[in-house]
Structure 1
Amino acid sequence: MKRREFLNLAGLGIGGAMFTNIPIIGHAVPLETQWSPADTAKKKQMADIALNAAKSKGATYTDVRIGRYLNQYVVTREDKVQNIVNTESYGMGIRVIANGSWGFAATDKLDTDNIAKTAQQAVDIAKENSRLLTEPVRLAPQKGYGEVSWKSPIEKNAFDVPIKEKVDLLLGVNDAAMKGGANYVNSILFLVNEQKYFASTDGSYIDQDIHRIWPTFTITKIDATTGKFETRNSLSAPVGMGYEYLMPRAQDKIQGGVTTLYKGRYDMLEDVKAGTAQVTQKQKAKSVEAGKYDLVLDPTNLWLTIHESVGHPSELDRVLGYEANYAGTSFLTLDKWESKKFKFGSEQVNIVADKTQKGSLGAVGYDDEGVSTKQWNIIDKGILVNYQTIRDQAHILGLNESQGCCYADNWSDVQFQRMPNISLKPGKAGTSPADIIKNVEKGIYIVGDSSYSIDQQRYNFQFSGQLFYEIKNGKIAGMLKDVAYQSNTQEFWNSCTAIADERDYRLGGSFFDGKGQPGQVSAVSHGSSTARFNGVNVINTARKI
Structure 2
Amino acid sequence: MKRREFLHYTGLGLGAGLLSQIPIIGKAVPLEAPWYAIDVAKKKELADVALNAARSKGATYTDVRIGRYLNQFIITREDKVENVVNTESYGIGIRVLANGSWGFASTDQMDKDSIARAAATAVAIAKENARLLTTPVQLAPQKGYGEVSWKTPIEKNAFDVPVKEKADLLLSVSDVAMKGGADYVGSFMFLVNEQKYFASSDGSYIDQDVHRIWPTFQITKIDKATGKFETRNALSSPRGMGYEYMIPRESDKIHGVTTLYRDRYDMLEDARLAGTQVGEKLKAKSVEPGKYDLVLDPSHLWLTIHESVGHPTELDRVLGYEANFAGTSFLTLDKWESKKFQFGSPLVNIVADKTQPGSLGAVGYDDEGVATQKWDLIKDGVLVNYQAIRDQAHIIGLKQSQGCCYSQSWSDVQFQRMANVSLQPGAASLTPAELIKNVERGIFIAGDGSFSIDQQRYNFQFGGQLFYEIKNGQIVGMLKDVAYQSNTQEFWNSCKAIADKRDYRLGGSFFDGKGQPSQVSAVSHGSATARFNGVNVINTARKI
**Which residue of the partner structure matches residue 543 of structure 2?**
544
**Structure 1 residue matching 2:90: 3-state secondary structure:** strand
Task: Please tell me the residue identity of whatever aligns with 2:224.
Answer: A
Distance 2:283 2:387 in 1: 45
**Which residue of the partner structure matches residue 410 of structure 1?**
409
> What is the RMSD of the two structures over their aligned residues, measured on CA atoms?
1.2
Instruction: Give the 5 Å matches for 1:201-350.
Output: 201-256=201-256, 258-350=257-349
**Structure 2 residue matching 1:305: 3-state secondary structure:** helix
**Which residue of the partner structure matches residue 184 of structure 1?**
184
Q: Summarize the Cα distance change of 1:327–1:209 in structure 2 as closer, same or farther, 3 Å threshold.
A: same
1:326 is displaced (CA, Å) by 2.7
Q: Is the 8 A contact 1:8 1:14 kept in 2?
A: no
Task: Please tell me the residue identity of whatever aligns with 1:422.
Answer: V
1:21 is displaced (CA, Å) by 2.7
Task: Please tell me the residue identity of whatever aligns with 1:240.
Answer: G
Distance 1:201 1:538 in 2: 54
Q: Is the 8 A contact 2:198 2:205 kept in 1?
A: yes
Gaps in structure 1 of 5+ consecutive residues:
none
**Which residue of the partner structure matches residue 372 of structure 2?**
373
1:22 is displaced (CA, Å) by 4.8
1:149 is displaced (CA, Å) by 0.2
1:428 is displaced (CA, Å) by 2.1
* Alignment partner of 1:463 is 2:462: yes
Deviations 1:492-530 (A, max 9, x none): 000000000000000000111000000000000000000
1:323 is displaced (CA, Å) by 1.1
Deviations 1:140-159 (A, max 9, x none): 00010000000000000000
1:268 is displaced (CA, Å) by 0.1
Normalized against structure 1, the TM-score is what? 0.98
Q: Is the 8 A contact 1:19 1:186 kept in 2?
A: no
Q: Is the 8 A contact 2:7 2:512 kept in 1?
A: no
Q: Is the 8 A contact 2:7 2:511 kept in 1?
A: no
* Alignment partner of 1:528 is 2:527: yes
Q: Is the 8 A contact 2:405 2:415 kept in 1?
A: yes
**Which residue of the partner structure matches residue 172 of structure 1?**
172
Distance 2:11 2:325 in 1: 18
Q: Summarize the Cα distance change of 1:519–1:371 in structure 2 as closer, same or farther, 3 Å threshold.
A: same
**Which residue of the partner structure matches residue 488 of structure 2?**
489
Task: Please tell me the residue identity of whatever aligns with 1:343.
Answer: Q
**Structure 1 residue matching 2:168: 3-state secondary structure:** helix
Gaps in structure 2 of 5+ consecutive residues:
none
Q: Summarize the Cα distance change of 1:11–1:360 in structure 2 as closer, same or farther, 3 Å threshold.
A: farther
Distance 2:148 2:7 in 1: 37
Deviations 1:294-317 (A, max 9, x none): 000000000000000000000000
Task: Please tell me the residue identity of whatever aligns with 1:505.
Answer: Y
Q: Is the 8 A contact 2:306 2:421 kept in 1?
A: yes
Instruction: Give the 5 Å matches for 1:351-390.
Output: 351-390=350-389
Q: Is the 8 A contact 1:73 1:83 kept in 2?
A: yes
Instruction: Give the 5 Å matches for 1:448-459.
Output: 448-459=447-458
Q: Is the 8 A contact 2:5 2:326 kept in 1?
A: no
Q: Is the 8 A contact 1:482 1:542 kept in 2?
A: yes
Q: Is the 8 A contact 2:70 2:89 kept in 1?
A: yes
Task: Please tell me the residue identity of whatever aligns with 1:92.
Answer: I
* Alignment partner of 1:41 is 2:41: yes
1:17 is displaced (CA, Å) by 6.1
Task: Please tell me the residue identity of whatever aligns with 2:383.
Answer: L
Q: Is the 8 A contact 2:486 2:535 kept in 1?
A: yes
Tell me the percent identity: 76
Normalized against structure 2, the TM-score is what? 0.98
Q: Summarize the Cα distance change of 1:71–1:223 in structure 2 as closer, same or farther, 3 Å threshold.
A: same
Instruction: Give the 5 Å matches for 1:76-95.
Output: 76-95=76-95
Distance 2:72 2:286 in 1: 40
Distance 2:15 2:177 in 1: 15
**Structure 2 residue matching 1:399: 3-state secondary structure:** coil
**Structure 1 residue matching 2:477: 3-state secondary structure:** strand
Distance 2:9 2:510 in 1: 6
Q: Summarize the Cα distance change of 1:377–1:51 in structure 2 as closer, same or farther, 3 Å threshold.
A: same
**Structure 2 residue matching 1:89: 3-state secondary structure:** strand
**Structure 2 residue matching 1:525: 3-state secondary structure:** strand
Distance 1:347 1:190 in 2: 39
Q: Summarize the Cα distance change of 1:488–1:342 in structure 2 as closer, same or farther, 3 Å threshold.
A: same
**Structure 2 residue matching 1:278: 3-state secondary structure:** helix
**Structure 2 residue matching 1:514: 3-state secondary structure:** strand
1:179 is displaced (CA, Å) by 1.3
Deviations 1:64-103 (A, max 9, x none): 0000011000000000111000001100000000000000
Task: Please tell me the residue identity of whatever aligns with 1:116.
Answer: A
